[in-house]
Structure 1
Amino acid sequence: MAKIIGGITTSHIPAISNAMERGLEDTPYWRDFFAAYPPVRKWLEEQQPDIAIIFYNDHGLEMFLDKKPTFAIGCAAEYENADEGWGIATIPTVTGETELSWHIVNELIEHDFDPTVCQDIKVDHGLTVPLRLMYPDQNYKHLKVIPVCINCERHPMPKPSRTFALGEAIGKAVESFPGDEKVVVFGTGGLSHQLDGERAGFINADFDEECMDKLVSDPKALTKYSNYDLVRLGGSQGVELNMWLGMRGTMTGHVEEIHRNYVAPISNTGAGLQLLRHTPKR
């Protein structure tokens, strides 16, 4: 059967790609952020996962305020990036995965989730920045990607417990897939940040560290928060923790943290990185 070998959490802010384009990785502002990624890249090179399930949120490129699905899953053979107006260079086409993605969709619907199924979708920086961080030479064509998009922009948004349950359902679907593929799951975005309003620039490093701790040891404790709690504790964009919870929900076996980093501020966010090794139950 297919198995989930691990999970990776990472920021997806547009400024990351701009810094990479301009060769700023070793400058004082960025050094501590980028220096944390080589161990994760090394792990990916050693493990050679076949498929990446990437939880992300679309920031208006494909799903604007007039059409905003709560949950959406890509089932396409490939995905293109497009200009979002951030000044980020587009990246090469991302290879899609069709068999497992359709299996996941069917299993989700069978178990009372109703995602929007996307057979033609462009992906924005929420998905492309993490790929570029993990594969800075953009040599990711071998990796088949399943995008899972979560609404983190427009209320009403899915609450943390529902997003975690979505992850659990996706994890069970992967475990029931009749193949020997190795799957890695990304939770992108976050952590605490607020980009506008009276609290613009707000970062809660203590809360961020608590979330990273609980993500390993007691993820269900985080599902007790409401989205309003996340906004209060983590800023108006702190609800992106939902992508991390979706990722963590997919891993139902033993989870061990093997790498962590936290830097703040990075482009007015608390930027967390975690590498979690997963040993599936058998």
Structure 2
Amino acid sequence: MARITASVYTSHVPAIGAALDLGKTQEPYWQPVFQGYEFGQQWLKDNKPDVIFLVYNDHATAFSLDMIPTFAIGTAAEYQPADEGWGPRPVPKVIGHPELSAHIAQSVIQQDFDLTIVNKMDVDHGLTVPLSLMCGQQDPVKGAWPCPVIPFAVNVVQYPVPSGRRCYNLGKAIAKAVASYDEDLNVQIWGTGGMSHQLQGPRAGLINKEFDNAFLDKLINDPDAAADISHIDYVREAGSEGIELVMWLIARGAMADAAGGAKPKAVRRFYHVPASNTAVGHLILENT
């Protein structure tokens, strides 16, 4: 059967993608950010999955404010990089895994989670920046991502957004769905977005290192406590865009200990500020 072997957590700052695409990774401002992912890139080469289930949020590209699904799973065979106003990122298209996607959708919906099925969509920086950070820059024509990717979009743009507890429980349902798939697949689940940041208003530029590191502590050692963080606490402590951290809880809920198994091993933890007025967090957990 398929199994989730690890979870990866990372910010998906759009300026990181621009720095990669414009060859700025060695500039003094950006170099510490990209050095922080060198371990993860080697780790991914050493622990190459068959499929990545990537949790992210769409930034009004695949979905406009006219229609915003709370949870949406991509079931297509491939996904093109989205044009977010300055042309698509120069990265390879994303190859999907329609069979596993359809199976997860069937299983999770039967576990009473309502998912939107998306048979065609483009994917924006929320998905492609994490891939670039963990896989390195790829040639848009001759290059390829290391394995198929299942995009899973979460609404953290327009309230009401799902609670941390709902996301954590959804991760459990996804893990159960993967485990019931009748093929021997090594699956990784990635949670992306965050950490603390606010992009508008009087608090624009807010970064809360204390909250961010406490969240990382909870995610590793006490995910139940992380799942109980309220919306108002995210907004107050981590800024209006800090709510993106609920997507990390989907990945955390899919780890073995959330269903009574062994606690995962933290093999990488990285935190850096600033990166375009945003806190960058990165974590890798392995099921043991």
- TM-score band w.r.t. shorter chain: over 0.9
Measure how far apart 1:140 and its partner are.
Answer: 3.8
Measure how far apart 1:201 and its partner are.
Answer: 0.5
For normalisation by structure 1, the TM-score amounts to 0.96
39-48 vs 206-215, which deviates more?
39-48
- Residue 108 of structure 2 is matched in structure 1 by 108
Given that 1:207 and 1:234 are in contact with CA atoms closer than 8 Å, whether structure 2 keeps it comes out as yes
SS of residue paired to 1:207:
helix
SS of residue paired to 2:200:
coil
Change (3 A) 1:75 1:88: closer
SS of residue paired to 2:269:
strand
Q: Percent identity?
A: 47
- Residue 176 of structure 2 is matched in structure 1 by 172
Residue 243 of structure 1 pairs with residue 247 of structure 2: yes
- Residue 148 of structure 2 is matched in structure 1 by 144
1: CA distance between counterparts of 2:197 and 2:55? 18
Given that 2:255 and 2:287 are in contact with CA atoms closer than 8 Å, whether structure 1 keeps it comes out as yes
Measure how far apart 1:177 and its partner are.
Answer: 1.1
Measure how far apart 1:249 and its partner are.
Answer: 0.8
Equivalenced residue count is 279
- Residue 201 of structure 2 is matched in structure 1 by 197
1: CA distance between counterparts of 2:32 and 2:145? 28
- Residue 284 of structure 2 is matched in structure 1 by 275
2: CA distance between counterparts of 1:155 and 1:137? 34
- Residue 69 of structure 1 is matched in structure 2 by 69
Give 5+ residue unaligned stretches, structure 2: none
Change (3 A) 1:140 1:5: farther
Given that 2:108 and 2:173 are in contact with CA atoms closer than 8 Å, whether structure 1 keeps it comes out as yes
- Residue 46 of structure 1 is matched in structure 2 by 46
5 Å-filtered alignment, 1:227-238, equals 227-238=231-242
Measure how far apart 1:142 and its partner are.
Answer: 4.2
Change (3 A) 1:122 1:255: same
Given that 2:21 and 2:90 are in contact with CA atoms closer than 8 Å, whether structure 1 keeps it comes out as no
For normalisation by structure 2, the TM-score amounts to 0.94
Deviations 1:221-246 (A, max 9, x none): 01111212111110000000011111
SS of residue paired to 2:108:
helix
- Correspondence for 2:272 among 227, 250, 263: 263
Given that 2:41 and 2:136 are in contact with CA atoms closer than 8 Å, whether structure 1 keeps it comes out as no
2: CA distance between counterparts of 1:46 and 1:26? 25
SS of residue paired to 1:81:
coil
Change (3 A) 1:274 1:142: closer
Given that 1:41 and 1:134 are in contact with CA atoms closer than 8 Å, whether structure 2 keeps it comes out as yes
Q: Kindly indicate which of the two structures has a greater share of residues assigned to strand.
A: 1
2: CA distance between counterparts of 1:17 and 1:115? 29
- Residue 220 of structure 1 is matched in structure 2 by 224
Change (3 A) 1:195 1:53: same
Give 5+ residue unaligned stretches, structure 1: none
Q: Structure 1 stretches (4+) deviating beyond 3 angstroms?
A: 139-142
Given that 1:17 and 1:88 are in contact with CA atoms closer than 8 Å, whether structure 2 keeps it comes out as no
SS of residue paired to 1:177:
coil
